[in-house]
Chain A
Amino acid sequence: MTVLVRISNLTRVFDVSKPWLNRVIERLPRATLTAVRGVDLEIGEREVYALVGESGSGKSTIGKMVVGLLPPSGGSVEIDGVDPARETDREALGRLRADVQMIFQDPYASLNPRWKVRDIINEPVAARGGDASGLAGRLLEKVGLDAEDGEKFPHEFSGGQRQRIGIARALASGPRFIVCDEPTSALDVSVQAQVLNLMSDLKDDLGLTLLFISHDLTIVRHMADKIGVLYLGHLVEEAPPDELFGDPKHPYTRMLLAAAPRIDGFGREAEPPKGEIPDPINPPPGCAFNPRCALADEVCRARHPELRSLRGARVACHFAE
């Protein structure tokens, strides 16, 4: 398997300080929030890599850095050997941008309400001076809509149909790699099933590589070839789905799996997880999960565990075995 996307030591820091005048008057220091901290991962060609985590875990920030919507504060993203933040060859950059697309979470916010659907879909090609004639019609049919729908405006479509339009737009430039940021969390289950099926069909037909970002473990298990679990900006575990669900190694992964409501869990009286995600501005020292972890020890409070290989998975825990 050839590696298409290589993410090394990726870090993103946001400045969340108060305005300078407040800092002067109230004698406050600058405050920073590290949303993503030293994430290393590789995505193989034609692989579906899923990132899961709760809110504030940094999954969307990674997605934005991968497509180049946010510059990284440290580390690098290489797609097919090209780092968009450092590449100076315009031609290589242009090719890279056509190769990488994104599907967004909210189908109501991601389509321009004043543009016809045809123009929305053609834009990624037209903006680069390409020939987009007939493209929208073909793509609309590919995602299960009518070619004539190109003449309509986004408000004439339901949420699921809009997400199909978003998918058609992402396919317009003939990409190899698509980042899907919670593509179905705004949709109802029956519509979600339609969109997920469409995405896996398209992936097989077109040989796409996907980075699939979601908070929903059941969807991730359904879609992914490999799953990375994030907690407070750290990659804490990475494994193929069967491995992750069958033999979760990180205590946080175990907690997540236990907490997810199960459709066969009638009257289940599980001990609910303890605590909440800590404040990312003042994360706990050592392992970020230690305040909620049953296994936590002095080592966990002192030293951050490195990601290490363990039985077909990678896990960042001092005690996982």
Chain B
Amino acid sequence: MEATIPRTEAAEPVLSIRELVVEIPTRRGVLRPVDRVSFDIAPGEILGVVGESGAGKSMTGNAVIGILDRPARIASGEVRLNGARIDDAAPESLRALRGKEMGMIFQDPLTSLNPLLRIGDQLSETMLAHLPVGESEARERAVAALDEVGIPGASQRVRGYPHEFSGGMRQRVVIALALCAEPSLVIADEPTTALDVSVQAQIIGLLKRLCRERGTAVMLITHDMGVIAEAADRVAVMYAGRLAELGPVRDVIQRPRHPYTDGLMGSTPLASRGLGRLRQIPGAMPRLGNPPPGCAFAPRCPKARDACRLDPRPEISGSGGGAACLFPMEAA
């Protein structure tokens, strides 16, 4: 597979998260939507973050870029961007990093664009703020950026407003906006969930191509295993705020080690697997305020034994990845 960029262990990771904990203090106790999550993303690498709703994927992304909504806060752990700690950075310095070093792509392109500003003005505003360019150069670059994300007639379309674009075209504008200051990290939170399959394929292809060309690290948050399989180099599976499994995308999807990943795969109706009953995971994810002791998946796990229900909970051992499970699935 020559398409993916080999991850060299020597290369300094763009993003490095260690033991990240996000807490939300409430009247009834402290919730932990992100609980001791650690991973790295290398330059040019796409890390897929999957999980069901409430697993903490978006919360992790928001913590990295420093846009957690109060009262949620980073309680402990480290976030390093290109080696420098940013989890304790002042709001002003984070604001300077966002857009410049970190680009963001959200699910709904209409809410991430300003409806009152022309597309071109939004692009050149971002470039003026972050790059050493003048007004006229920013304008030229805005046209080039729109051209690069495949918007036909870019030189006319820069004068358009967001509502004049279709959903897929708007998401292209958002990608152009996220990449225009040439950030080293892009966080894409469900970038194609609001789009139709044919447009989704276009957007994912575009994201892959641009990030490979520029060596941008991408954290791709999605619940769609198919998107992960096609786009990501490595994948992190989250469950109840914790990392369940981390590893190269082929291994995790074809030979899942954690019973939760295995269940998730079994419950995905596969075009290639044909008919028959779907495997289902009984029960539902535990509530944030009340995680069970030990492994959070133990109450739903077919392989759980007594040891699974005791603290300390299993952790991913080794830096390369693996499963946070005491009794991982046998490698077939």
Kindly state whether residue A33 has any CB partner on chain B within 8 Å: no
Q: How does the 8 Å CB contact mask read for A209-250 relative to B, with 1 for contact and 0 for none?
A: 000000101110110000000000000000000000100000
| Residues of A with C-beta under 8 A to B196 | 54-55, 215, 277
Nearest Cβ in chain A — how far from B40, in angstroms?
20
The reply to whether A266 and B1 form a contact with Cβ atoms under 8 Å apart is yes
| Residues of A with C-beta under 8 A to B279 | 193
The reply to whether B1 and A267 form a contact with Cβ atoms under 8 Å apart is yes
The reply to whether A273 and B202 form a contact with Cβ atoms under 8 Å apart is yes
Of the listed stretches A17-25, A66-74, A92-100, A184-192, name the one at the interface; the rest are far from the partner chain.
A184-192
Kindly state whether residue B116 has any CB partner on chain A within 8 Å: no
Of the listed stretches B9-17, B85-93, B183-191, B263-271, name the one at the interface; the rest are far from the partner chain.
B263-271
The reply to whether A218 and B269 form a contact with Cβ atoms under 8 Å apart is yes
The reply to whether A263 and B278 form a contact with Cβ atoms under 8 Å apart is no
The reply to whether A272 and B202 form a contact with Cβ atoms under 8 Å apart is yes
Q: How does the 8 Å CB contact mask read for B21-52 relative to A, with 1 for contact and 0 for none?
A: 00000000000000000000000000000001
The reply to whether B284 and A191 form a contact with Cβ atoms under 8 Å apart is yes
The reply to whether A261 and B268 form a contact with Cβ atoms under 8 Å apart is no
The reply to whether B201 and A262 form a contact with Cβ atoms under 8 Å apart is no
| Residues of B with C-beta under 8 A to A255 | 198
The reply to whether A190 and B52 form a contact with Cβ atoms under 8 Å apart is yes
| Residues of A with C-beta under 8 A to B224 | 261
The reply to whether A188 and B53 form a contact with Cβ atoms under 8 Å apart is yes
The reply to whether B198 and A267 form a contact with Cβ atoms under 8 Å apart is no
Of the listed stretches B61-69, B131-139, B225-233, B312-320, name the one at the interface; the rest are far from the partner chain.
B225-233
| Residues of B with C-beta under 8 A to A222 | 269, 275, 278
Whether A273 contacts B201 in the complex (CB less than 8 A), given A189-B267, A219-B269, comes out as yes
| Residues of A with C-beta under 8 A to B53 | 188
The reply to whether B3 and A276 form a contact with Cβ atoms under 8 Å apart is no
The reply to whether A263 and B226 form a contact with Cβ atoms under 8 Å apart is yes
The reply to whether B230 and A268 form a contact with Cβ atoms under 8 Å apart is yes
Residue of B nearest to A224 (CB): B275
Residue of A nearest to B225 (CB): A263
Question: Which of B198, B202, B263 meets A256, CB within 8 Å?
Answer: B198
Nearest Cβ in chain A — how far from B16, in angstroms?
24
Whether A188 contacts B52 in the complex (CB less than 8 A), given A262-B272, A263-B270, comes out as yes
The reply to whether A264 and B52 form a contact with Cβ atoms under 8 Å apart is no
Kindly state whether residue A296 has any CB partner on chain B within 8 Å: no
Kindly state whether residue A260 has any CB partner on chain B within 8 Å: yes
Residue of B nearest to A245 (CB): B271
| Residues of B with C-beta under 8 A to A160 | 284
Kindly state whether residue B59 has any CB partner on chain A within 8 Å: no
Residue of B nearest to A192 (CB): B267
Of the listed stretches A6-14, A135-143, A173-181, A194-202, name the one at the interface; the rest are far from the partner chain.
A194-202
The reply to whether A276 and B1 form a contact with Cβ atoms under 8 Å apart is no
Kindly state whether residue A269 has any CB partner on chain B within 8 Å: yes
Nearest Cβ in chain B — how far from A276, in angstroms?
6
The reply to whether A261 and B200 form a contact with Cβ atoms under 8 Å apart is yes
Kindly state whether residue A265 has any CB partner on chain B within 8 Å: yes
Within 8 A of B (CB), among A260-316: 260-270, 272-273, 276-277
Residue of A nearest to B50 (CB): A189
Nearest Cβ in chain A — how far from B231, in angstroms?
8
| Residues of A with C-beta under 8 A to B168 | 276
Question: Which of A193, A221, A265, A277 meets B229, CB within 8 Å?
Answer: A265
Kindly state whether residue B204 has any CB partner on chain A within 8 Å: yes
Kindly state whether residue B199 has any CB partner on chain A within 8 Å: yes
| Residues of B with C-beta under 8 A to A55 | 196
| Residues of B with C-beta under 8 A to A188 | 52-53, 223
A189-B225, A262-B271, A263-B253 known; 6 new pairs, CB 8 Å cut-off, are A158-B284, A218-B270, A255-B198, A256-B197, A261-B201, A266-B230
Please provide the 5 A-B residue pairs with the shortest distance between their CB atoms, ordered closest to farther. Answer: A261-B226, A193-B267, A188-B52, A54-B196, A259-B201
Q: A residues bordering B, Cβ < 8 Å? A: 54-55, 158, 160, 188-194, 196-197, 200, 215, 217-219, 221-222, 245, 255-256, 258-270, 272-273, 276-277
Q: B residues bordering A, Cβ < 8 Å? A: 1, 3-4, 52-53, 166, 168-169, 196-202, 204-206, 223-227, 229-230, 249-250, 253-254, 263-272, 274-275, 277-282, 284
16 cross-chain CB contacts under 8 A: A160-B284, A189-B225, A193-B267, A193-B269, A196-B278, A259-B201, A261-B200, A261-B224, A261-B230, A264-B254, A265-B230, A266-B229, A267-B230, A269-B205, A273-B201, A276-B199
